Amino acid sequence: MARPTDTETSPIDAVHQDGSPDPDAIIAQLDRVLSSTDFVNSGRLCSFLKFIVEETLAGRASHLKEYVIGVDVYERGESFDPQTSSIVRVEAGRLRSRLEKYNAVDGRDDPIHISLPPGGYVPVFETNTIRSGGTMSSRIKTWLESKTAFGSKKFTAFLLILAVVIGIATLHFFSPHAPKKETGPPPISASSEQHNSVAILPLRNLSGDVNQDYFSDGITDALIAALAEKLRMRVISTRSVLAYKNADKPVASIAKELSVSHIVEGAVLRFGDKVRITAQLIEAKTDRHLWAETFERVITDPLAIQNDIVRRIVTSLVLKVADDAARAPTATPQLRPAAYEAQLKGRFFRNKMTEEGLRKGLQFFKEAIAKQPDYALAYSGMAACYCLLGGHGFELIKPSEALPVAKKAALEALSLNNSLAEPHAFLGIIRLKYEWDWKGAESEFRQSIALNPSYVQARLFYSYFLEAMGRKKEAIREAQEARAIDPLSLEANINLGWQNLQAGQLEEAHRHFERTAELSPDFWGVHWGIGHYHRRKGNFGAAIESFEKAINSGGGHALPLTGLGYTYAISGKPGKALEMVAKLNDLSQRSYVSPFNVATIYAGLDEKELVFAWLEKAFVHRSRSLAWLNVLPEFDKLRTDQRFKSLLRRVGLPG
């Protein structure tokens, strides 16, 4: 196929007066792309691209569906089923990445760019504005040429690719106005391969003031979130890396414990109205420093320093990851420093995962919103705090009081920035535990994971959903992914044990509970999980002992009390079981206690009338646990009762 000459599609001839590309110029650009080195030897991708471009120009874009492409391009026949074959989705991902690379390098000066946005199969044709001005390319080239320390021409070429794709981008994670974007096909599993992973260690606070820890920890958290979104590779979560805060340990040892190939470490120093951050990227296997730099900014420019660091890290990692590692650029954020600082404090306290921390975090997120009413990330943090307090985790507020507020905040965050993974995840947990909208919940979880495959909370939430739906193997898989991203997280380790327990793999569950105990022997959740293990094994004495340990080690709330009460009930100790009911009622005078917990103990006592009375209260409260009614063995004896079947129908679960 002959490559058109520049005169055939000059910048003037390539566009209409309204700025839209001319169809003939688009066809010429298609030929140019198909004859490029990126496509010329890939017949299937060429056929795919040619088909969708020609169909779009013919006015048939609405027909570009997965089935049509599978039949017409890949000749799969009329029996082709996109639900069982992912060939079109996989090839679309390859085509999208190949087009991005071509537009950034070989085609960077072409008059038109053809791209394939995520979430569909209709191509987009855009006039290349960079070609007309040329200033951005020249600025990037000048910047690259100044970095003589990077060495080889090959490395410089890679830097140019990433600089064009990412270097002009900033972190939409922090942006109050970042543009919405569609998400793609089902989520990509977070890679667990050690050669394709990175951990950002907590940046050291050099100010000498522990009250400034929120700033250094907040910068660390922001960098982790940004890199997880920018790179399709495993990025260890904040909770796991915080275990190495101020740790005096060799980089190689930390990398081995976290199973990562690269480490980023650095420090933060605030002085007057300025902040200085030093950071370096280390290849763990060789202890080789791939990159190191110091950034200094005035506080009035709080995001520029993170933008620079992320861009440089991504650039340095490009030789270690796939060509499609970089995510698409987003708009430049406009953010008030005071709002940003309040948001950092909110994240700092929220990450403590205590009732006090969540309530303090909520205050700071509200402060950030007061200072900047269109701050998407602050609304997202607010939604998370309300969810954790009222419908997930602590359940210290009635779901009917907390979750509608959480939903409103999550939707506001997404209306400002639909590309944030966090509000999608918490909106999913609201749909699961409060609205009982199973299809909507799964859609939100998958969208969150697609936006950020390394966002551990979405992985955990999705495993809870899969458990509730009885999809046991998938629940274990997502729990394994969560633990790979957050290997030192107590929640991720306990959940992996729990999902194995629910699947009947008792010894595997016990192994994970014991591993969690190695991380934190005094964690109440360890004893709670082991209590369930012993109860399933029929070792009631050991189960009672474990639940009592859970209560005495800081778990004096509804979950351990319920586990202990139910175990007393089925082991022939009704008096002891009723004592636990009394304790739950007493606890409810100080904080919210779900009626579902009381119903569980009465189920163990085989008091059917009381079970259904308390389940009805749980239904009125929209208790989170009703979503698991179909898979909890505590209620197995009630499954033939018409009242139970009626409750399942009202919740929306299959009978």
User: Mean pLDDT over residues 111-139, rounded?
Assistant: 66
| Percent of the residues in the chain that have a pLDDT greater than 90, as a whole number | 39
Clarify whether residues 453 and 581 are in a common domain. Answer: yes
Contact 595, 615 (CB under 8 A): yes
8 or 96, greater pLDDT:
96
Query: What is the pLDDT confidence band of residue 154, given thresholds at 50, 70 and 90?
Result: very low
User: Mean pLDDT over residues 504-528, rounded?
Assistant: 92
Query: What is the pLDDT confidence band of residue 325, given thresholds at 50, 70 and 90?
Result: very low
Whole-Å CA distances, 79 to 69, 82, 120: 13, 10, 22
In a domain, 235, yes or no: yes
Does residue 132 have a pLDDT over 50? no
Contact 420, 451 (CB under 8 A): yes
Assign 492 to helix, strand or coil. helix
CA distance 412 to 478: 28
Q: Which of 164, 127, 115, 130 is nearest to 144 (CA)?
A: 164
If phi > 0 it is left, if psi is from -120 to 50 it is alpha, else beta; for residue 65 that is beta
Range 225-241 burial, b when 16+ CB lie within 10 A, else e: bbbbbbbbbbbbbbbbb
Does residue 477 have a pLDDT over 50? yes
- Of the listed ranges 92-106, 164-178, 510-524, 581-595, the least confidently predicted one is 164-178
If phi > 0 it is left, if psi is from -120 to 50 it is alpha, else beta; for residue 75 that is left
Clarify whether residues 96 and 115 are in a common domain. Answer: yes
Does residue 558 have a pLDDT over 90? no
- Identify the pLDDT of residue 54: 92
Domain end among 302, 335, 368: 335
Whole-Å CA distances, 519 to 176, 234, 488, 512, 516: 38, 22, 7, 11, 5
Clarify whether residues 159 and 264 are in a common domain. Answer: yes
Does residue 363 have a pLDDT over 90? yes
Query: What is the pLDDT confidence band of residue 642, given thresholds at 50, 70 and 90?
Result: very high
Does residue 182 have a pLDDT over 50? no
Domain end among 88, 107, 132: 132
- Identify the pLDDT of residue 177: 43
Domain of 471, in residue numbers: 337-651
Query: What is the pLDDT confidence band of residue 316, given thresholds at 50, 70 and 90?
Result: low
435 or 353, greater pLDDT:
435
In a domain, 66, yes or no: yes
User: Mean pLDDT over residues 559-586, rounded?
Assistant: 96
Assign 267 to helix, strand or coil. strand
Contact 280, 270 (CB under 8 A): no
103 or 343, greater pLDDT:
343
- Identify the pLDDT of residue 307: 64
458 or 235, greater pLDDT:
458
CA distance 627 to 560: 19
User: Mean pLDDT over residues 176-186, rounded?
Assistant: 39
- Identify the pLDDT of residue 147: 36
Does residue 327 have a pLDDT over 50? no
Clarify whether residues 480 and 536 are in a common domain. Answer: yes
252 or 394, greater pLDDT:
252
Tokens of 234: 């495993």
- Of the listed ranges 120-124, 317-321, 611-615, the least confidently predicted one is 317-321
451 or 545, greater pLDDT:
545
- Of the listed ranges 2-11, 54-63, 442-451, the least confidently predicted one is 2-11
Query: What is the pLDDT confidence band of residue 474, given thresholds at 50, 70 and 90?
Result: very high
Tokens of 358: 């969540």
Clarify whether residues 247 and 283 are in a common domain. Answer: yes
Clarify whether residues 374 and 236 are in a common domain. Answer: no
Clarify whether residues 365 and 484 are in a common domain. Answer: yes
Query: What is the pLDDT confidence band of residue 169, given thresholds at 50, 70 and 90?
Result: very low
User: Mean pLDDT over residues 74-93, rounded?
Assistant: 82
Domain end among 97, 112, 132: 132
To the nearest 10°, the Cα dihedral for 566, 570, 574, 580? Answer: -10
The CATH number of the domain holding residue 302 is 3.40.50.10610
Query: What is the pLDDT confidence band of residue 305, given thresholds at 50, 70 and 90?
Result: low
Q: What is the mean pLDDT of the chain?
A: 79
Query: What is the pLDDT confidence band of residue 15, given thresholds at 50, 70 and 90?
Result: very low
User: Mean pLDDT over residues 519-524, rounded?
Assistant: 87
Clarify whether residues 449 and 480 are in a common domain. Answer: yes
- Identify the pLDDT of residue 211: 75
- Of the listed ranges 138-147, 273-282, 392-401, the least confidently predicted one is 138-147
Query: What is the pLDDT confidence band of residue 12, given thresholds at 50, 70 and 90?
Result: very low
Clarify whether residues 213 and 88 are in a common domain. Answer: no
- Identify the pLDDT of residue 104: 61
Does residue 159 have a pLDDT over 50? no
Query: What is the pLDDT confidence band of residue 143, given thresholds at 50, 70 and 90?
Result: very low
In a domain, 1, yes or no: no
Rank 143-152, 326-335, 384-393, 638-647 by mean pLDDT and report only the highest.
Answer: 638-647
In a domain, 150, yes or no: yes
Clarify whether residues 424 and 312 are in a common domain. Answer: no
User: Mean pLDDT over residues 477-487, rounded?
Assistant: 92
In a domain, 287, yes or no: yes
Clarify whether residues 107 and 139 are in a common domain. Answer: no
User: Mean pLDDT over residues 15-22, rounded?
Assistant: 58
Rank 297-311, 397-411, 423-437 by mean pLDDT and report only the highest.
Answer: 423-437
Domain count, the chain: 3
CA distance 468 to 439: 13
The 10s digit of each residue's pLDDT in 404-433 is 999 999 999 999 988 889 999 999 999 999
Which residue's structure tokens are 């100790």?
Answer: 573
- Cα–chain-centroid distance for residue 207? 32
In a domain, 64, yes or no: yes
- Identify the pLDDT of residue 449: 92
CA distance 170 to 329: 7
Tokens of 72: 């017409």
In a domain, 314, yes or no: yes
Beta bridge partners of 205: 268
The CATH number of the domain holding residue 583 is 1.25.40.10
- Identify the pLDDT of residue 334: 66
- Identify the pLDDT of residue 582: 96
333 or 507, greater pLDDT:
507
pTM for this prediction = 0.62
In a domain, 530, yes or no: yes
| Percent of the residues in the chain that have a pLDDT greater than 70, as a whole number | 78
Does residue 196 have a pLDDT over 80? no
User: Mean pLDDT over residues 517-538, rounded?
Assistant: 93
Clarify whether residues 487 and 635 are in a common domain. Answer: yes
Does residue 382 have a pLDDT over 90? yes
